[in-house]
Amino acid sequence: QSALTQPASVSGSPGQSITISCTGTTSDIADYNYVSWYQHHPGKAPKLMIYDVSKRPPGISPRFSGSKSGNTASLTISGLQAEDEADYYCSSYINSDSTWVFGGGSKLTVL
């Protein structure tokens, strides 16, 4: 399975909204609603921000939202804050192969 495709970097100013895209294929994102997004600050454990395309785990701010259209999933962060600066990874479970694939990651810079 190929890795999912994400932009290498995204940026925004405090208070703005940004969207990170994650492009897969008809074999992963398009076919299943098992897309997750992770936030990773260097030196810390990754943090699950979104699962099942658009669900937020307990304690995750509603500023984080997820969606999907065709073979592209998106993570939107509204009201950007300095602490949102991190690497973000998308992932999708492929039911037919019983495996997870991840994107290469997007580095979010809060200007």
Partner 1 sequence: QVQLQESGPGLVKPSETLSLTCAVSGYSISSGYYWGWVRQSPGKGPEWIGSFFHDGNTYYNPSLKSRVTISFETSKNQFSLKMNSVTASDTAMYHCARHIITGVSYGLYIWGQGTMVTVSS
> Comparing C-alpha atoms, which of 55, 47, 2 is closest to residue 24?
2
Pick from 39, 51, 77, 84 the residue near partner 1 by CB under 8 A.
51
Q: Which is nearer to partner 1, 30 or 104 (CB)?
A: 104
Q: What is the CA radius of gyration of the chain?
A: 13
Q: Which of 14, 19, 25 is nearest to 37 (CA)?
A: 19
Tell me which amino acid residue 25 is. T
User: Which of 28, 103, 108, 110 lies at the binding interface for partner 1 (CB under 8 A)?
Assistant: 103
Could you list the residues that contact partner 1 (CB under 8 A)? Answer: 1, 3, 32, 34, 36, 38, 44-48, 50-52, 57, 89, 91, 93, 95, 97-105
